[in-house]
Structure 1
Amino acid sequence: MSWIKRSDETPQEDGKYFTFGSHGRTTAWWKGDIHKFQNAESGENEGMQDMDGEVYMVTHWMNLPEKPEPPQES
């Protein structure tokens, strides 16, 4: 997996993704109907300003890795 520039491509499906931007590395939901990421922790949509005046922006994204296999019993 590698980072994808937000300006080059956006996710094809709504869902949760690993993102990097003004809030550092975090997870966010892609909302295709509004073409924006929504921070999974704060609920802020891209372009929203937080209480400190920082505007939430995503510059890169990637798919989340697959879940690990459950441990096998011996």
Structure 2
Amino acid sequence: MIELAVLGVLREGELHGYELRKRLRELVGGTSSISFGSLYPALGRLERDGAVEAVEAVEQLEAAVPVATVPST
């Protein structure tokens, strides 16, 4: 189920893991606990299946942060 939520949020635009988790929490409410321990494996499965892709890192605070996006068709 988390995979569907991730795809829905990523349709809005590219996000890195922290922002993706923050956006998911906003959508499902504060009572849901979406952990990085469930988010990153879900992203990995989606990437493996070709549903999302990692794109060029974004320079932020002198650190490269990988972002995820839904591939364009």
TM-score range (shorter-chain normalised) is under 0.3
Q: TM-score, normalising length from structure 2?
A: 0.28
The structure where helix makes up a greater share of residues is 2
Q: TM-score, normalising length from structure 1?
A: 0.27
Specify the structure having the higher radius of gyration (Cα).
1
